[in-house]
Amino acid sequence: MIRFFLMILFFNFYVVLNAKEKKVLKTKEKTQIVKIKRKNRQREAHNEYVKKGAHGDWNYTNKGPSTWANRDPAYKLCSHGKQQSPINIITKESQTFSSLDYLSVNFRNESFSVINNGHTVQFNAKNSTSNILGDEYRLLQFHFHTPSENRIDGKPSPLEAHFVHENSGHHLAVISVLFDISKTDNPLLQPILDFQKEGQTVEKKGHDIDPSKFLSNWTKYIYFHGSLTTPPCSQGVLWLVMKEKSTLSSSQLKKFLEIMGENNRPVLDVDKRPLMKNF
């Protein structure tokens, strides 16, 4: 009788334990499925960025950077990523590596599709390339932020241009050019400022704008690993912030603000990332 009672007790214990294990496994499976779906959505959002540039239901005001991660599961890295951009670059803390390859750009005098997408003014490229750290990258597009997103020694610049590239392995690299205020207009910027209403797309012929002139023959830069500065905030992006700066006039800056408004993401923690420079 006692043996029979113990058998029943053991059987009931086994059933309860087995049910708990199944529940735990089911919870783990659900969690895993959620993670897989999120990663797939992040990949989709990243691929959409590569094709279209910045887009989506977000902005820099009422749907600003502090809310991005809550707007789409694909944007989770915007708040949880550990290598996010932009950053405040402390020059004295960056290490000098003279062996870093010099930057070589082959931006062609080509036609560009230009759009004010509501987040920035973006120029979509076709046939321009750059050699970055010994690897060839294709220029996807370039666009502008005002004020600058990256800072040098705590100081923002009034304007920053991002030249977004992709290599054959689908890794991204961004060349950043900062601008200072000058008394005279920068003629390179004038074709960019000739239009723009949100959603407007126009074609700019090759002789209208030559992006290589923004970089002149510059080869000195600060290099670090970061992310896209807009959703989905994908990480693993190589950043090269040029040491030399370009210029624009106060009236040109005013025009940029009229077209785009302020469209900069605040700086994020460097979080022990090494900052390297070749000068």
Is 192 inside a domain boundary? Answer: yes
pLDDT (tens digit, 9 = 90+) per residue, 70-111? 999 999 999 999 999 999 999 999 999 877 877 888 888 777
Task: Give the active site residues.
Answer: 119
**Which CATH number belongs to the domain containing residue 243 in this structure?**
3.10.200.10
Residue 98 is assigned to a structural domain of this protein: yes
In a domain, 235, yes or no: yes
* Cβ atoms of 11 and 17 closer than 8 Å: no
What is the maximum span of the chain, computed from C-alpha positions, in angstroms? 102
On whether residue 238 sits in a domain, the answer given is: yes
Which residue has tokens 């797309």? 201
pLDDT in tens, 229-243: 999 999 999 999 999
Q: What is the reported pTM?
A: 0.83
Residue 21 included in any domain: no
- Tokens linked to 143: 């666009």
43 within a domain of the structure (yes/no): no
Q: How many domains does the chain have?
A: 1
Predicted confidence at residue 30, as pLDDT, reads 47
Kindly state whether residue 178 falls inside one of the protein's structural domains: yes
3-state DSSP helix/strand/coil % of the chain, to nearest 5 = 30, 30, 40
CA dist., res. 68 & res. 196, Å (int): 26
Please report, for residues 140, 157, 179, 221, the alpha-carbon distance to residue 205 in angstroms, rounded to integers and kept in the order given: 17, 29, 24, 30
Residue 174 in any domain: the answer is yes
CA distances from 206 to 164, 217, 266 (A): 19, 20, 34
For residue 209, what are the domain limits?
53-277
Give me the residues of the chain with pLDDT under 70, please: 1-45, 51-52, 195-208
